[in-house]
Amino acid sequence: MPNAFNFAASPFDSLTQQEQRLVRNHVDVVYFRAGEVILDVGTAPTHLFVVIKGYVAQFDGEEQAATYGPDDCFDGRGLVAGKSSSRFVAAEEVVAYALAHATVQELIAANATFGALLFSDIGAKLSAAGQRQSGNELQALNMARVDQAFVRPAHMVDAATDIVSVVKVFQHERTTNVLVQDAATQPPRLGIFTTNALQRAILSGRPLEQIPVGELSNWSLISVRPSDQVGDALAIMLRHHIHRVVVAEGEQVHGVLEALDVFSFLSNHSMLITLRINDADSIDELAEAAGQVTGMIGRQFRGGTRAGLIAKMVQDLNARLFDRAWQIIAPPELVANACLFVMGSEGRGEQLLKTDQDNGLILRDGYTPPDDLAAICQRFSDTLARFGYPPCPGGIMLSNPAWRMSEADFAQTARRWLALPEPDSLMNLAIFMDAHAVSGDAHLLEGVRGSLMQMATDNDALLARFASAIDLFSSSQGWWNRLLGDAAQQMNLKKEGIFPLVHGVRSLALAARVTATSTAERIEALVQRGDLSAQMGRELTESLHFFMTLRLQAGLAELDRQQPVSGAMDVKTLNTFERDLLKDTLDVVKRFKVQLRHRFKLGAL
């Protein structure tokens, strides 16, 4: 039968050649009129359907829950369960493949991945998807250019320089090697002196200040070009039993590539940026490190690293970057008597690509800040803008006096946000709930948060007002319409999925006095308390990470097209597996919102 069956669509792309032949031998083509009920609630499905042409609407009760278009399949879960839990109706004329129950069962028995992708829960589907990923992070990084790795600056000395002076260079520049120039030879030669050679100098017994570095330098330098691949550079080091190579293009020396840095690059590229941040002594040097973060994110993601892990890397990098910048900009006394914190997705450890600044400053009660505090804070905000973090349109940043105050004043302000029903107050409270300390005394932030948690406990009216924001971005048209891929209606994943999920979890965390800031940690704590079922907790976590993955995928595509990151996603760019998972994850959010409305009695507001 039909050779046109699309085996590139999920879950059929997991089948072997033999299993594909089984499908071809047992599949039929069926037709349904517009409005015809294909499967009804309680019906025992006899076939798995794969849409060729047209659209099928899935209804739960009177509400449309999903739409299936070309290459989408249904109802795998009903087929395995023995009865359908939904009603499937042809929204227009539908032509579909029909694969018999017995054949589907045979495929499931032979191919566990096919079965997981067909009917399992979200966690099993995503696990199966991870096993299918063809991207290999190590291979991707191996093929990166040398100048994308951490090439250390070259420190030059003359061959006549004494060893003691060279050791002072080691200490001052925090390096283990220097390049040695010998202009007395024709042509001039270039060598290297390392700590290994220093050991030989010490063991020689001669006064170090009388030994010219040129005597113990290695003049047989091995170099690579900036455009060479990292994997090739590592192979050269292994072949020659050396720990570093010089990076040069012709006579221009770019720096030194260390084996340790290559291994760090291959295992975790964020380590290289961390080294640069820690070694930075100026805002200019920090700006160079900050400029590498987006490239690191893209390489990690395309290499197969999961979005949740990338977000944790980004949170750590941002914390180090902001801490180092604050220590450079602010006087030590201010750093010690204040707490610099970040909020929003950055505070939760869920930020990927750079977004607006969300930060604040808590000052120790009784501490008198410097007279130029406003100028210091403005400089910090300007510095973050230089790093690629745009100013917050709502002014939620240090340069705004409303977001820098004493611990007592911050605690009072946070309690007022909780008590007032205005949308601005609720949103300020929501963003502050995610605050994460990055520099200074973290106990100051803990004190404000503790005061807030104490007020929230058992105050159902306040909690209900706070939780009601889950409907802030509700769409009257329903999310399922966007799955048709209407070019005029791109989906905003933050509004449709991420915000209601994150804020719903945040509301439960506030009610339960859970102090964790990340959504995943809050979910784990709520499951342990019994406020969420283990299954709902698992589905919420998996859904959040899937939304983050899609959002990052869309944002990187926009950057590749040299467009600003909009936060919107064109559903037409998703493959059938991604569309299927998107339906599942949005359904999780829908069910979670129903649970929240019941928990906080939102219908009574």
Amino acid present at 206: R
Low-confidence winner among 262-271, 283-292, 541-550 (lowest mean pLDDT): 262-271
SS3 569: strand
For the chain, count helices (H), then strands (E).
26, 20
Q: Which of the 8 DSSP states describes residue 212? A: B
Q: Hey, how many other C-beta atoms are within 10 angstroms of the C-beta on 282?
A: 9
Residue 141, CB-side half-sphere exposure with 13 Å CA sphere: 26
Please provide the average confidence, as pLDDT, over all residues in the chain. Answer: 85
Q: Tell me the C-alpha distance between 189 and 416, whole Å.
A: 71
The band of 573, judged by pLDDT with boundaries at 50, 70 and 90, is: confident
Residues 500-524: tens digit of each pLDDT: 999 999 999 998 989 899 999 999 9
Distance, C-alpha 94 to centroid of its chain: 39
Contact 333, 372 (CB under 8 A): no
pLDDT attached to residue 377: 96
Q: What are the tokens at 562?
A: 């040299």
pLDDT at residue 237 tops 70: yes
pLDDT at residue 391 tops 80: yes
pLDDT attached to residue 521: 93
Residues 282-300: tens digit of each pLDDT: 999 999 889 888 888 887 7
The band of 130, judged by pLDDT with boundaries at 50, 70 and 90, is: low
| Residue ranges of domains in the chain | 12-120, 146-266, 268-456, 468-604
Considering only the top CATH level, what class is 146-266? alpha beta
568 DSSP β-pair partners: 492
pTM, to two decimals: 0.69
pLDDT attached to residue 488: 43
- Between 133 and 248, the more confident residue is 248
Q: What are the tokens at 376?
A: 């210091």
pLDDT attached to residue 480: 46
The band of 450, judged by pLDDT with boundaries at 50, 70 and 90, is: confident
The band of 482, judged by pLDDT with boundaries at 50, 70 and 90, is: very low
Full DSSP string of 484-533: G--TT--EEHIIIIIHHHHHHHHHHHHHTT----SHHHHHHHHHHHTSS-
53 DSSP β-pair partners: 95
The band of 570, judged by pLDDT with boundaries at 50, 70 and 90, is: confident
Q: Does domain 12-120 bear CATH number 2.50.20.10? A: no
268-456 CATH fold:
Beta Polymerase; domain 2 (3.30.460)
Q: Which of the 8 DSSP states describes residue 258? A: E
Contact 354, 294 (CB under 8 A): yes
